Every structure is written in C-alpha cells, then in structure tokens.
Amino acid sequence: MAKYSLKINGKTQQVDVDPSTPILWVLRDHLNMPGTKFGCGMAQCGACTIHLDGNATRSCILPVSAIGKSAITTIEGLSENGTHPVQKAWLEHDVAQCGYCQSGQIMSAAALLKSNVKPTDEDIDNAMSGNICRCGTYLRIKEAIKTAAKN
Amino acid sequence: MKNISNRREFLKSSALAGGGLMLSFSWFSEAKAAEKIASLNLPEQWSELTAYIKITPDNVIKILCPNPEFGQNVMTSLPMMVAEELDCDWKNVVVEMSTHDNVKYGPQFTGGSNSVRMYWKPLRNAGAAARQMLIEAAAQTWGVTASEITTKAGILSHSSGKSANYGEMAAKAATMAVPKDVKLKAPKDFSIVRNSKKNTEGVKVVTGKPLFGIDNRVDGMLIAMIQHPPAFGMKLKSFDATAAKKMAGIKDVFSFKLYDDGFEQGGFDTRTHNEMIAIVGNSTWEVMNARKKLSIQWEAAGDVKDTMSGRGGKREVTVPGRLETTSSQFEMMAEYAKKPAKELRKDGDPAAAFKNAAQIIERTYNAPFLAHNTMEPMNFFAHVQDDKALVAGPLQAPGWMEPTLAKLLNLPADKIEIQMTRMGGGFGRRAYGSYVYEAARISQILKAPIKLIYTREDDMTYGIYRPMYTATYRAALDSNKNLIGFHVTGGGIPENPIHANRFPAGAVDNYLADGWEIPSNITIGAFRAPRSNFNAAAEQSFLDEVAEAVGKDPIAFRLDLLRRAKENPVGKNNDYDANRYIGVLELLKEKSGWGKPENAGKKRGVAAYFCHNSYAGHVVDMVMRDGQPYVEQVTSAVDCGVVVNPDAARNMVQGAVVDGIGQSFYGALTHKDGVPEQNNFHNYRMIRHNEAPKKIDVHFVENDIDPTGLGEPPFPPVFGAVANALFKTTGKRYYNQPFMSEQAKS
C-alpha cells in the first residue's frame, strides 16, 4: 500500500492503495466515482476513458503509481450539470441506448474536440474506434460530435 | 413467457402523503389484489404502495416505469403511454423506475420485444382512470357536470371559464371512485405518443450518475469474484487458497455449489458450472490479484444429470461431458444432418415435388456460437440475512429469479427484495439469473453484503450463448421455373433453429420443415431475436438465390410468394400476416429507390423478416473499401404498429442494423477442448465506429395497429441483406458466418 495525492476534477484527493491499482478502480472503489466504467480491463473497449492532462486515456490499465502530478478529469468533472458542449450534443441527438459506454465515448469525444475543433468523419473514426458501443449508436455519436464541434 | 391474458389490472386510488393523488395498480385478480392490499393495513400504509402515478399539489406528475430498462428506452416510452391518456403536460412528468412487485406492476419483464406491447392497454387505462378522477374532482368542486369538463396538457377547463391544473385537484381526486371502464383515445388524438420525447435518463447517462448494477455500493460491502472451470465439461477437483488468502484486503476464499443435487431448475436457471471458487475482499483490484494466486486442479466433469422443471414438466436430462472443439462440432452437425429429422410441418407432398422437379437448388448455411458481450459485465449485489434478503442489479426478468432465490436461500419469496437497476445492455443474456444466485449464495455464506463482478473474461467464457446452428434449404422448381416444393431442415448445438410456420410456409404448395438437436454442455439461451437471427440470414440468402435462379427481381419474387400466402394460403398456423409483410417490402422498395436507374450501379442486398409480431426489412448498399466489404448505407422499413417514441425507435433500428452488420461480419465464439477461444475484445471482434454505415434511413409503416415488438425484429433481416449484398459486391455467395472469416479464406 502507498499513499497518493491525486488531482481529480480540480480537487486533490488522497488514497492509500496498492501502487499497481489501475486508476479505474481507485475511482470506482476508493473514491466512489462510478461514472468511469469497467468494460474489458485491457484497453480494448474504451468504457473507462478519462482525461489525463486533457488527453483521452484508458484508466483500466493505468496504475495509480504512474499518475504523478497529472490532472485527471472524469465524466463527473467534465461539467457541473451536463452542460459541456459534448454532453449537450449527446442529449440533443438522444444518443444513448443502454448508456453504459457513453461516459467513455463522451470523454473520447471531448478530448478529440479539444485538439481538433473541426474533425472530419475520418478524424472521428480514428479518435473514436477504441470505444465500443454494443447497442450500435455510432451514427448518432458521430452526429453529436459534429454538433458539439459547431458549438 | 408468462400468460398475462387472463389477468385484469385492478386500480386503486389513495391520497398521497402531503396531499395529492396516487393511483395504484395490480395485475392480479381483483380478489387477490384486494387481499394483498388488505394485508397492508389500509389506509395507513397506502403510502408504502408505490403507485404508477403520483400527482402532487404543486402539479409534479411522477410516473413509474414498471419494466427493467436495458436500453430499449422503456423509461421514456412506457411513461409516455400513461401521460398520453392522463392528458398531462410532458414537461411536468418525472419518471422513476418502480420497485419490483409483480402483483402491483405486472410481469416486469424485458424481453421478447414485449414491453410496449404488453403494457400498451394497462398503462393507458391507468392514465385514463386518473384523468377521469381528476375530472370528477373538478366537477364536484365547481358544481358542474363531469362531461362538460375538458382536459388539455394537464389543465382542467369548463365552459364557465373555470380552470385548474391537475395538482390543484389531485387531493380531491384521490377521494373519487376509480372508474371501472374508461375510454381510451383514438390514435388520431395522440399528442404525446407518436411525438418524439428525449430519454428521461439522458442527463444521468451523460453525467455518469450511478445508474447501473455495477455502480451499486453500500457501507461495508465486499467485492466478490468467481473462478469457474476453464472449460465446458470440466469441474473443480481441488484447490489451495493459502497464498490467495494472505493477499492484502482478502476476506475469504471458498468453494460453493450453486444448486444442491436434484435441484429442480426452472427454464431460466441455466448455469454453466455448478461448483465455483469465490474470492471475496475489500476492493476489486485486490480480489483480482488474489485470484491469480489460487492453485486449482480441475477434472473432467463427465456426464451430468440435471433435473429440470418449468416448460415441459419435471424431467431428468443428461448433459454430456465431452470437451467440444469447433471442428468436431461441425463434424457432429454434418453427421446429425444425415439422420432422419423430426418433422415439424408438412404441406402437400414435398417428396413428390422434389422427385418431379426440373431443377433442385440446395444450400447449407452455418453460424457459430455468439457471446452477448453486454458492455456492463454480469454483476449483482446481494445482502442475505437470516430472515430476509436484498438483491440488486441488472436483470431482464427478476420475477423469474424470485422463486429460485427463495428456494436457494430457504426464505419466503416476500422476504426477498429485488431492486432493478438500469442494465448496460441485455440482448437476452440477463434473462438468465445464475449470477444473481451466485451473489446470493456468496452473501449467505459470508453473512455480509457483497457485490459480485464478472471480469470481461468471465463474462465471455462463462456465458449463455447464442447456439451454433446449421440449416439446409432445398427448393424444387418445375420446368417453368415455378417454385413447387420447399424444404428446410435445421439443427444446432444444442437447439434447432427452425420456425416451421414462418414464411415461406404458406406460400408453397409442397413444404416440409424438420429439425434435430445435439445435446451439449455448452450453455445457451436467448440472444436478440432467438433462432430468427440465424433463420433470417439463411432463409433470406436462400430466397435471393432462388429468385436469381428463376430470373426474378428479389423483391418481386418475395412479393409474389407473399401475395400467394395472402390470397390463397397453404396450410394452417402460418404465424405471419402476409399483408403487413407485403407492406414493409413495398415501403422498402419505395424508400430505397429499388430498381431505379440512379441506383443501378449500387451493390445492394435486400432482406425482410417477421418475428416478435413485427415486420422489418433492409436494403444494404455495400462497397469495397481498402479491399474489404463495407456497408456504406442502409435503408430500413419496419411495421411495428403504432410507434410510441419515433426518434428513439429510429435509434433502436439503427442500432439493430449496426449490431447485425457486426455480428454477421465478425461475431464468433469457438472452442478448443471445451475452452472458449475468445475471452476479451482483443480476440472477439466487435463492430466499431469506422465500420458502421455512414447513413441508416429508417422508415415506419404508418398504421393504427396496437404496438408490436421493436427491439428484436429489425435485427435478423440485417444478416440476410448483408449476405445478399456480399454476393453483389464480391460475386460470391456467403454461407458461413462470420462472413469476414469466409472472406479471409477467399
């Protein structure tokens, strides 16, 4: 076990966990922040996507010991009440079916738009293909990303 | 499926604590419901009965959704049906998931594309009854005749100029008699139903609120995982947990049996293995790490005798112990296919038709086991105490699990509370509750609240899969290329896929359907449109090939057969309505511009299918992209009767199309000596963003037919349309799924 001081959604949080613990489980089990989802545990599905210093990162394979001073943003911290342009676009296009993968999709999309304000279809495919949606909402996700890009 | 036709809902009103109206509802007979309600010491405990509708004095209208939500959007569509007849303003509606109580809320079953269909009348009746009571309350308050009062968007009005909102009349309405009969709106008067409403849980989803079972958390809760045998046909021999128990955060490691010997399993009690090792600790990561330290010996399980109850009555079955390998599964299927099959339907004289045929076309189609791969892996919370139990998590049909939980825990059913959480997908998988029983067993043994979590590997290798199927279709043509005989024979491990009374039964004079099954230890269950998801692929590919052989356009060929089935049907028990089937094909033809010169260059495949009381068809436009087939655009047509929430319905159909392309292109679970060869998304390929079509246009047949199913019907025909488009694109017919494995071989 080791103590870590983590910067999450603008707040500093202390945890005492095994250094190998992926940040996904630190968030879910130790900090009671279950918005970040467990899907595969091997960075293949994107359900666990968070931002590490603004970059989309799979939290299920990222040990807490590797975080250092980097700032973490989770779906809970993307906006106060779902007002981030990506979240608003998701609501406008009524994207979700089961909704389980959507926090990861939204985090990937938000990171994409931060680095590329006007992504092409190909840019979106490249940035988003690591995020599986089992319900098949890909078309709406793409439309929502384009709407968010406009705003 | 439970028979709900002999139940009549029973409504009861009461005052809401703090004033307001609460309308309760029961699906049991009036007498049974009265008994249940009486046991609650009315009226003091009325507030404990959660009702469908609650109207507060400040005009907040809370509507409960009775059915579990797994992405089919019932938390929006079912309350819309209540709100429609209540005639309230949708803006004032707040939706919550109901508690689990089959007496109060009906079947509470998500599956079989049944949610909207089975609640269509009862929920509208509830809304209409509440509206009537509000009108009566206003009539008494204003001293006018009830029939002179109108409602609109939650406002009661009288020609004298008097008006009030529902909240103002709610307390008085609670004292009115519940009307025995209410008049429901004609579809032309709908103002909420048929008008798209946003997902009532949308904000919670996009902000990451803890909606799902896996998000459950209570103080003192432990995390549990299970180590199951690595292969179908293996069982636990012995294990040493000394090292695992020494790991940080570990509370206990023990083996447990799910069912005792001779336990009578119901139809949805399917379980893959009976004895597992539970690893329980403080946190998920600690449990995962301790699990790796287990030293376990497995052994061949041999043949297992199980006692089954439920449909088919009590019977003993022997589950064979062999360790299956995919190549040997194909060999077994080929061997069984040669044996005489069980006749399922025969019209005319098919033997003579085939004997006299000028041409016979025969094709065989195969499809593999499929894993459901819900994005939220199986999980469940359980807190079993001496005299009661609470379980919470993702289940499609909690009421089916309740009797088994009661038996396993030796508790009366009314001491078991089941809480329904939003499900991160279901697709049929969560109609089977063995993971709930596992969680309950572990909690009972530990006497502690636990949350059982499957890893993705557990979820995929310890599944209740779509069966492996094969079918051979034969068509007999006379010298004028008329279809005079049709034969389908199908089988599977361990279930045969044949729907004997489906199209083209009814359209061919001489028809035979037969089937066979191979018992297996590989556990199978419902998977989005069970059996149909294979049949549509095979039958619709075959009809395409027959149309080609007789020189007809594929849509025209189907329409000719369907007109025959409509005007002069062959045999009895045809389970489809030829007219609605024709309607979907005609709409599809129109919307896709089928046969239009501007589409002449497109590589298009078409298929249509009937299942779950609805009709759906697709035209798939395919191109080659980077040397691989790619579905670029899809046009869909669906007849599911009244479409309650159109935009969400389009979302559902688009999702079914994407799912169908993905499963038919890539989906496969194979075995080597009983071990599943795929265990996570690196080797089980799922369709991804870049593989989804650019456009999916969805069109609904507009009619006033009571809603039929939607979650499943659009899915099966995707497989057939994809197969037919592959032929147009590559010049080669695809008979074996997944199609991209076949493509790789060519």
SS3 content of chain B, % helix, strand, coil (to 5): 35, 25, 40
Q: Do B659 and A132 touch (CB under 8 A)?
A: no
> B426 to chain A: which residues are within 8 Å by CB?
98
The predicted structure's pLDDT at residue B14: 61
Nearest by CB to B686, which of A25, A132, A139?
Answer: A132
pLDDT digits (tens, 9 = 90+) for A98-125: 999 999 999 999 999 999 999 999 999 9
CA distances from B717 to B168, B602, B738 (A): 51, 19, 15
pLDDT digits (tens, 9 = 90+) for B436-446: 999 999 999 99
Q: Closest chain A residue to B217 measured between Cα atoms?
A: A32
Backbone angles phi and psi of B258, in degrees to 5: -75, -55
Give the distance from residue B371's alpha carbon to the nearest chain A alpha carbon, in angstroms: 12
Burial of B371 per CB tally in 10 Å (0-12, 13-18, 19+) = buried
Interface with B, mutate which of A9, A21, A28, A40 (most B CBs under 10 A)? A40
What residues of chain B, 417 to 456, have a C-beta less than 8 Å from chain A? 422-427, 453, 455-456
Q: Do A37 and B376 touch (CB under 8 A)?
A: yes
Q: Do B208 and A74 touch (CB under 8 A)?
A: yes
Q: Does B659 touch chain A (CB under 8 A)?
A: yes
Give the distance from residue A108's alpha carbon to the nearest chain B alpha carbon, in angstroms: 12
If residue B250 lies in a helix (H) or strand (E), which one and from where to where? Answer: strand B250-257
Q: Does B199 touch chain A (CB under 8 A)?
A: yes
Mean pLDDT of A133-143: 98
What residues of chain B, 619 to 658, have a C-beta less than 8 Å from chain A? 647-648, 651-652, 654-658
Q: Do A94 and B376 touch (CB under 8 A)?
A: no
Q: Do B202 and A90 touch (CB under 8 A)?
A: yes
The predicted structure's pLDDT at residue B51: 60
What residues of chain B, 221 to 240, have a C-beta less than 8 Å from chain A? 223
Beta strands in B310-440 (DSSP E): 315-319, 342-347, 359-367, 379-384, 389-393, 416-420
The predicted structure's pLDDT at residue B180: 77
Query: By C-alpha distance, which of B281, B266, B523 is closest to B408?
Result: B266
Give the other-Cβ count within 10 Å of B585's Cβ. Answer: 22
Cα–Cα dist B161/B470, whole Å: 70
Backbone angles phi and psi of B384, in degrees to 5: -100, 125
Query: By C-alpha distance, which of A131, A8, A151, A11 is closest to A87?
Result: A151
Which residues of chain B carry a pLDDT beneath 70?
1-51, 746
Q: Do B377 and A38 touch (CB under 8 A)?
A: yes
> B217 to chain A: which residues are within 8 Å by CB?
32, 34
Q: Give the list of residues 6+ apart from residue B187 with CB closer than 8 angstroms, or none.
A: B193, B194, B642, B704
At B474, which amino acid appears? R
Q: Do A97 and B652 touch (CB under 8 A)?
A: yes
For B555-623, the DSSP string reads HHHHHHHHHHHHHS--SS---S-HHHHHHHHHHHHHHHTTT-GGGTTSEEEEEEEEETTEEEEEEEEEE
Interface with B, mutate which of A8, A129, A139 (most B CBs under 10 A)? A139
Give the distance from residue B688's alpha carbon to the nearest chain A alpha carbon, in angstroms: 6
> A41 to chain B: which residues are within 8 Å by CB?
455-457, 680
Nearest by CB to A87, which of B207, B284, B658?
Answer: B207
The predicted structure's pLDDT at residue B48: 25
> B70 to chain A: which residues are within 8 Å by CB?
98
Q: Does B211 touch chain A (CB under 8 A)?
A: yes
Give the distance from residue A151's alpha carbon to the nearest chain B alpha carbon, in angstroms: 17
Nearest by CB to B202, which of A41, A76, A96?
Answer: A96
Q: Closest chain B residue to A81 measured between Cα atoms?
A: B207
Q: CB–CB of B498/B490 below 8 Å?
A: yes
Q: Closest chain A residue to B658 measured between Cα atoms?
A: A136
Q: CB–CB of B578/B562 below 8 Å?
A: yes
Query: By C-alpha distance, which of A13, A22, A16, A3 is closest to A63?
Result: A22
Q: Does B389 touch chain A (CB under 8 A)?
A: no
pLDDT digits (tens, 9 = 90+) for B147-161: 999 999 999 999 999
Q: Closest chain B residue to A126 measured between Cα atoms?
A: B690
Query: By C-alpha distance, which of B524, B305, B271 is closest to B404?
Result: B271
> A28 to chain B: which residues are within 8 Å by CB?
284
The predicted structure's pLDDT at residue B106: 80
Cα–Cα dist A141/A103, whole Å: 12
The predicted structure's pLDDT at residue A37: 98
Q: Closest chain B residue to A97 measured between Cα atoms?
A: B71
Average pLDDT, chain A: 97
The predicted structure's pLDDT at residue B263: 93
Q: Does B207 touch chain A (CB under 8 A)?
A: yes
Q: Round to the nearest angstrom and report the end-to-end CA distance of chain A.
A: 45
Give the distance from residue B59's alpha carbon to the nearest chain A alpha carbon, in angstroms: 24
Q: CB–CB of B238/B297 below 8 Å?
A: yes
> A1 to chain B: which residues are within 8 Å by CB?
248
Nearest by CB to B692, which of A101, A134, A138?
Answer: A138
Q: Do B425 and A91 touch (CB under 8 A)?
A: no
> B223 to chain A: which residues are within 8 Å by CB?
29
Give the distance from residue A41's alpha carbon to the nearest chain B alpha carbon, in angstroms: 7
Map tokens 């109207």 to a residue: B55
Q: What pTM was computed for the model?
A: 0.95
Give the distance from residue B680's alpha carbon to the nearest chain A alpha carbon, in angstroms: 7
CB pairs under 8 A between A and B: 196
Q: Closest chain A residue to B373 measured between Cα atoms?
A: A134
Map tokens 């929502």 to a residue: A144
Give the distance from residue A119's alpha carbon to the nearest chain B alpha carbon, in angstroms: 14
Q: Do A103 and B202 touch (CB under 8 A)?
A: no
Give the other-Cβ count within 10 Å of B147's Cβ. Answer: 8
pLDDT digits (tens, 9 = 90+) for A2-51: 999 999 999 999 999 999 999 999 999 999 999 999 999 999 999 999 99
Q: Closest chain B residue to A99 measured between Cα atoms?
A: B205
Beta strands in chain A (DSSP E): 2-8, 11-17, 49-52, 55-58, 71-73
The predicted structure's pLDDT at residue B179: 83
Beta strands in A71-122 (DSSP E): 71-73
> B635 to chain A: which residues are within 8 Å by CB?
none
Q: Do B656 and A136 touch (CB under 8 A)?
A: yes
Q: Do B655 and A135 touch (CB under 8 A)?
A: yes
What residues of chain B, 178 to 197, have a C-beta less than 8 Å from chain A? 196
Nearest by CB to B217, which of A32, A126, A134?
Answer: A32
Cα–Cα dist B286/B220, whole Å: 16
Nearest by CB to B375, which of A100, A124, A138?
Answer: A100
Q: What is the DSSP letter of B57?
A: T
Interface with B, mutate which of A64, A138, A145, A147 (most B CBs under 10 A)? A138
Q: Do A45 and B681 touch (CB under 8 A)?
A: yes
